[in-house]
């Protein structure tokens, strides 16, 4: 029979919580039920009661989900402590087994508010009816019982009260809900954020993805032992390390091999993978343009995960010339190619910009060709906040591909969306030709020409002439070390 468990989420990336929970549950074959009321399913709230078949399932989710701080055996909740105590009495069989000789610790806390110690004592004393007779152990107890008071977000001060100082413990006791339960498992997966911290990595660049986001992306791929995962815009390898840590084998490619190699003899991606103990899981690194790729058969990969360049710190490129050559220029190039080269320098083919909306649509086509049935394509897509519409994501889809998650990381005037697309067809397709999008397309997605919009400050076209200066781009990481 299903049991109820209290999930305590980290107060970051609210929209990523439920997609991650769904992905890890699917990976481990866990069935779960969310609360019936939409208010109780609100992903912006720090606490959620979830039904699971087994206690071990709750522990498994806490060990793998990056956004779960802890999971508790649920004893009750209420809008007042009287309601909480009534609910706790009804679930008495769950906690009476610990009454006689179990050492315990009792906590009263909140994610958004500091509770004065005097009231913490009052709350603890209100649970005296539980009659725990074991030893109180604050350092190493057998069980930890916790009350969570959920407060709403602190409202912004209006102009009249601007500059005033809030009274200490203001609003104490005016909580939205109070939850009570026994700690089952700490969210150990969150420790990986520090392990994969970019600043501690031996090789990284100014486009390296922050560790928490790369871990969330890896969970969306269902990375696990035996899976083969591909990153077509490998760069400095931020996606490879967490997916490799979870047991998957990784293949990476990039149009600019220097990003993967760095300046030392051993490729930078391999050096960083060695730092994390997963060098053996990097199958290979290759330099090529995804629109002129060497893949001669499809359905190779269990997942494709990538952070495509969208032109803010590094622009996307594909093979080709910005301007077509005249017949005379083509003849000169042909004659030059037939004559012996005067030196041993390698040929570097010309490249041209790769517009983001074209890149996204081509990436979905590539995913449909290369993914196994049921495989996932996971990537970030930047969008302009004021222009975004839900239909934007569907402009890039093709037959046999379905959006299963779309989570926003909001930066104000723009944001980036973590999009997860699943291959739902078993039909085999020919390699994509990556033809340009048809010009008669009616809807223009918000991510089209994103680079130009970013450097214009996301202003309407009528305002472009007022301020043509490009904004400064904050760089939080350093270039690849030599």
Strand 143-150 and strand 104-109: the pairing is: parallel
Alpha carbon distance 21, 33 (integer Å): 11
Rg of the chain over Cα atoms, rounded to whole angstroms, equals 27
Helix/strand/coil for 436: coil
pLDDT of 124 strictly over 70: yes
Alpha carbon distance 26, 35 (integer Å): 18
Domain boundaries, the chain: 3-154+168-186, 196-456
Q: Are 178 and 81 in contact (CB under 8 A)?
A: yes
Helix/strand/coil for 318: strand
CB proximity list for 361: less than 8 A, separation 6 or greater: 395, 396, 398, 437
The pLDDT tens digits for 424-477 are: 999 999 999 887 655 545 667 767 766 677 667 767 655 544 444 444 434 334
pLDDT of residue 16: 97
CA separation, residue 129 to residues 77, 79, 89 (Å): 17, 20, 9
pLDDT of residue 354: 77
Q: Do domains 3-154+168-186 and 196-456 have the same CATH topology?
A: no
Alpha carbon distance 460, 468 (integer Å): 12
Q: At 444, phi and psi to the nearest 5? A: -105, 115
Closest to 152 in 3D by CA, of 113, 195, 125:
113
Q: Are 241 and 281 in contact (CB under 8 A)?
A: no
Tokens 């074959």 sit at which residue? 29
Alpha carbon distance 306, 335 (integer Å): 40
Q: What mean pLDDT value characterizes the chain?
A: 86
Full strand arrangement of the beta sheet holding 301-306: 282-287, 249-254, 228-231, 301-306, 371-384, 414-423, 401-410
Residue 262: exposed, middle, or buried by beta-carbon count in 10 A (0-12, 13-18, 19+)?
buried
Give kind and range of the element (H or E) at residue 121: helix 117-125
pLDDT of 89 strictly over 90: yes
What is the DSSP secondary-structure string of 327-374? HHHHHHHHHHHHSPPSS-PPP---EEE--HHHHHHHHHHHHHHHEEEE
Domain 3-154+168-186 - what CATH class?
alpha beta
Give 7's strand partners.
48, 71
Q: Report the first-to-last Cα separation within the chain, whole angstroms.
A: 58
Q: Any idea which of 12-21, 178-187, 378-387 has the lowest mean pLDDT?
A: 378-387
Sign of torsion over alpha carbons 57, 58, 64, 65: positive
Give 189's strand partners.
none
The pLDDT tens digits for 341-362 are: 666 666 667 777 778 888 899 9
* DSSP-assigned letter for residue 340: P
pLDDT of residue 300: 96
The pLDDT tens digits for 301-350 are: 999 999 988 755 556 677 776 666 667 666 666 666 666 666 666 666 77
Measured torsion, CA atoms of residues 68, 70, 76, 80, in degrees rounded to the nearest 10: -80
> Using alpha carbons only, what angle is made at residue 232 by residues 229 and 236, rounded to the nearest 5 degrees?
95
What percentage of the chain carries pLDDT values higher than 70?
A: 81
The tokens describing 295, both together, are 């893949």
The tokens describing 54, both together, are 């087994």
CB proximity list for 90: less than 8 A, separation 6 or greater: 76
The tokens describing 212, both together, are 């928490």
Specify the pTM: 0.85
pLDDT of residue 220: 98
Domain 196-456 - what CATH class?
alpha beta
């Amino acid at each position: 029979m299903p049991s109820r468990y209290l999930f305590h989420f980290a107060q970051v990336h609210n929209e990523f919580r439920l997609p991650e929970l769904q992905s890890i549950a699917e990976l481990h074959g866990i069935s779960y039920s969310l609360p019936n009321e939409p208010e109780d399913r609100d992903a912006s709230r720090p606490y959620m009661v979830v039904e699971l078949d087994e206690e071990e399932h709750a522990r498994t989710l806490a060990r793998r989900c990056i956004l779960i701080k802890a999971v508790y055996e649920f004893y009750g909740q209420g809008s007042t402590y009287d309601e909480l105590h009534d609910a706790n009495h009804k679930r008495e069989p769950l906690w009476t087994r610990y009454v006689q000789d179990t050492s315990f610790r009792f906590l009263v806390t909140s994610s958004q508010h500091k509770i004065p110690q005097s009231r913490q004592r009052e709350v603890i004393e209100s649970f005296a009816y539980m009659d725990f007779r074991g030893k109180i152990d604050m350092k190493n107890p057998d069980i930890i019982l916790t009350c969570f008071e959920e407060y709403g977000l602190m409202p912004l001060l209006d102009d009249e009260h601007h500059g005033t100082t809030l009274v200490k413990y203001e609003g104490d006791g005016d909580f939205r809900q109070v939850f009570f339960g026994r700690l089952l498992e700490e969210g150990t997966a969150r420790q990986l954020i520090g392990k994969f911290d970019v600043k501690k990595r031996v090789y990284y660049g100014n486009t390296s993805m922050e560790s928490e986001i790369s871990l969330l992306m890896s969970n969306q791929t269902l990375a696990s032992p035996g899976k083969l995962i591909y990153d077509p815009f490998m760069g400095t390898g931020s996606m490879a390390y967490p997916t490799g840590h979870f047991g998957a084998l990784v293949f990476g490619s990039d149009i600019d091999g220097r990003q993967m190699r760095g300046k030392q003899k051993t490729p930078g991606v391999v050096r960083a993978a060695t730092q994390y103990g997963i060098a053996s899981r990097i199958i290979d690194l290759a330099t090529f343009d995804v629109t002129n790729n060497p893949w001669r058969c499809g359905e190779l990969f269990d997942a494709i995960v990538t952070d495509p360049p969208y032109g803010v710190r590094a622009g996307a490129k594909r093979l080709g010339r910005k301007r077509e050559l005249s017949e005379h220029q083509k003849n000169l190039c042909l004659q030059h190619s037939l004559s012996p080269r005067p030196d041993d320098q390698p040929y570097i083919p010309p490249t041209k910009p790769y517009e983001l909306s074209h890149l996204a649509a081509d990436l979905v086509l590539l995913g449909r060709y290369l993914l196994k049935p049921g495989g996932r394509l996971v990537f970030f897509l930047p969008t302009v906040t004021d222009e975004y519409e839900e239909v934007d994501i569907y402009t890039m889809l093709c037959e046999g591909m379905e959006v299963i998650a779309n989570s926003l990381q909001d930066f104000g005037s723009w944001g980036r969306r973590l999009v997860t697309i699943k291959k739902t067809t078993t039909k085999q397709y020919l390699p994509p030709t990556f033809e340009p999008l048809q010009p008669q397309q009616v809807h223009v997605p918000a991510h089209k020409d994103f680079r130009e919009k970013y450097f214009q400050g996301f202003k309407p076209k009528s305002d472009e002439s007022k301020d043509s200066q490009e904004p400064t781009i904050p760089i939080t990481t350093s270039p690849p070390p030599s």
